Amino acid sequence: MLKKIPAGQLRQELISVLNSVRLKRRQYIVERNGEPLAAVVPVDVAVQREEDRTRLREIMKQPTPFDQMSEEAFDRMIDREIQAVRRMRRRKPSR
């Protein structure tokens, strides 16, 4: 769980906070005047987040069948799928 800590308190308790991040895996949001400034998280959490972002960027670069589809064709496909779901719901016996 993220714990909020004022920047002044972080400055005074830096070693203690860093130890709790490293040893107890605590996570902090550093605030100044009630506004969030930064997060202090274990290194592996930050590394994993960056790796996830990189993987997501690569996935988003991959072409999909929808890339070449016109907006009208895409809208027709969505409408057909909505109608199919509605037909299935109507056929399903209620309990």
* Residue 49 belongs to domain with CATH number: 3.40.1620.10
Is residue 57 in a domain? yes
State whether the Cα torsion 34-38-39-40 is positive or negative.
negative
Q: What is the DSSP letter of 14?
A: H
Q: What's the total number of domains in the chain?
A: 1
One digit per residue, the tens of pLDDT, for the chain of length 95 reads 799 999 999 999 999 999 999 999 999 999 999 999 999 999 999 999 999 999 999 999 999 888 889 999 999 999 999 999 999 988 877 66
pLDDT attached to residue 50 = 96
pLDDT attached to residue 1 = 75
pLDDT attached to residue 95 = 61
pLDDT attached to residue 21 = 97
Is residue 81 in a domain? no
Q: Which domain holds residue 33?
A: 2-65
